[in-house]
Amino acid sequence: MKALKAQDVEHALRNSRGARVDADIPAKFQRGDRVLTRNMHPAGHTRLPRYARARHGTIAHDYGVFIFPDSHAAGEGPHPQHLYSVRFAASELWGPQAAGQDGIYLDLWDDYLDAVPDAAQ
């Protein structure tokens, strides 16, 4: 792989097509849906932080369809899917000592999330 020279960085960034994908892929989740992050431990790349695995959150926003970085980094193709902003209560991530009104937002892909059945809410 050829290294990018410092003087070429700005040009490369301006001309990249980005990770957004123009594909008609239905969203698995809508704003307000409760989700549970998967408790996964891949050998390679993931953007699902360990502290947020097997935790409940709420879909705050759907950004649209993007390349899935895990499969892309592994050379398995773009595997396009929706990217969501998911809100987690601070107490869900940090325990009961966290301030009750605080929360954290993580940008997470479909493959990191499972729906929470209505009865479990």
- pLDDT tens digits for 94-116? 999 998 899 999 999 999 999 99
Number of domains in the chain: 1
Q: Answer yes or no: is 60 within a domain.
A: yes
* Alpha-carbon gap, residue 101 to 97, rounded angstroms: 12
pTM: 0.82
Q: Answer yes or no: is 16 within a domain.
A: no
- pLDDT tens digits for 27-57? 999 999 999 999 999 988 899 999 999 999 9
* Alpha-carbon gap, residue 116 to 121, rounded angstroms: 7
Residue 73 is predicted with a pLDDT of 86
Q: Answer yes or no: is 35 within a domain.
A: yes
Q: Answer yes or no: is 32 within a domain.
A: yes
What amino acid is encoded at 113 in this protein?
L
Are 113 and 37 spatial neighbours (Cβ–Cβ below 8 Å)? yes
Q: Answer yes or no: is 11 within a domain.
A: no
Residue 37 is predicted with a pLDDT of 98
State which residues form the domain around 50: 26-120
- What's the CATH number where 76 sits? 2.30.30.50
